[in-house]
Amino acid sequence: DAGVIQSPRHEVTEMGQEVTLRCKPISGHDYLFWYRQTMMRGLELLIYFNNNVPIDDSGMPEDRFSAKMPNASFSTLKIQPSEPRDSAVYFCASSLDGQTQYFGPGTRLLVL
Amino acid sequence: AQSVTQLGSHVSVSEGALVLLRCNYSSSVPPYLFWYVQYPNQGLQLLLKYTSAATLVKGINGFEAEFKKSETSFHLTKPSAHMSDAAEYFCAVSYGNKLVFGAGTILRVKS
């Protein structure tokens, strides 16, 4: 059974460019979470969805960040414009019950 | 508010020795508690979870954790460390549908 799928696995971009990260949750999971991991701040929840609806986006750092979930099998996290301080590993996770979360392999983003 | 404290950012053990990774939590309601493991350049993998059933929880790879309400602890143990256990371990507590993570403990296993 496929786990959470994220693409790309690595992204290198220049400051000011738009970055789009993609996530496919485990089939049947109604919850989807986006996290950011950095050395300084650890794991931070950015936003989560339930049944494709954003429930809590209080962790989104600023208006440059946006997330969508157009259907049950796909979500995007977009950063526009990107800045060097956005460099981090971004994880997507999905959950059937809203408690137990299963993580994808992450996207390692470097903004130059 | 829920929070998680992992004592020791780095733990080093010899191969075959007992592994003990400490986690204390604060929660205003009976918690769901989790341990995750992260290998280099990989995502987080669920090791085990406590959901108010048995207080001793067994997970994958020979790990187990015991929920102690009186001590607000959920320490992770493994009787005999293997080289492949070297990784970073995260304790987490649920807060509604959110997980609050500890800062992580890097486990080093010496041969």
Average pLDDT, chain A: 96
Contact between chains at B99 and A101 (C-beta distance less than 8 A)? yes
**Mean pLDDT (whole number) for B57-64:** 95
DSSP-derived secondary structure letter, B8: -
A-B CB pairs within 8 A amount to 43
Residue whose pair of structure tokens reads 């903004």 in the numeric block: A111
Which chain B residues are within 8 Å of A57, Cβ to Cβ? none
Average of per-residue pLDDT values in chain B: 92
| pLDDT reported for residue B82 | 96
With an 8 Å Cβ cutoff, are A103 and B44 in contact? yes
**Percentage above 70 pLDDT, chain A:** 99
Give which of B44, B88, B100 to mutate to test A binding, by max A Cβ within 10 Å.
Answer: B44
Instruction: Among B43, B90, B97, select the one facing A48 at the smallest CB separation.
Output: B97
Residue B30 pLDDT more than 80?
A: no
> Is A106 in Cβ contact with B32 (below 8 Å)?
no
Q: Does A106 touch chain B (CB under 8 A)?
A: yes
Mean pLDDT of A15-33: 97
Quote the tokens at residue B39.
């290998």
B98 touches chain A (CB under 8 A): yes
Contact A99 B94 (CB under 8 A): yes
Residue-wise DSSP of A25-50: PPTT--EEEEEEEETTTEEEEEEEEE
Q: What is the pLDDT of residues A77-98, one digit of tens each?
A: 999 999 999 999 999 999 999 9
pLDDT tens per residue across span B89-107: 999 998 888 899 999 999 9
* Local confidence band at A107 (pLDDT 50, 70, 90 cut-offs): very high
Determine the pLDDT at residue B87: 97
| Least confident stretch, A19-23, A59-63, B26-30 | B26-30
Band (B22; pLDDT cuts 50, 70, 90): very high
How far apart are the C-alpha atoms of A102 and A27, rounded to whole Å?
12
The pLDDT of residue B53 is above 80: no
Task: Locate the chain A residue with the closest alpha carbon to B42.
Answer: A105
Which CA distances in Å does A98 have to A12, A36, A50, A61, B86? 32, 19, 8, 23, 29
Nearest to A99 among B32, B44, B104 (CB): B32
pLDDT confidence of residue A1: 64
CB of B56 closer than 8 Å to CB of B68:
no
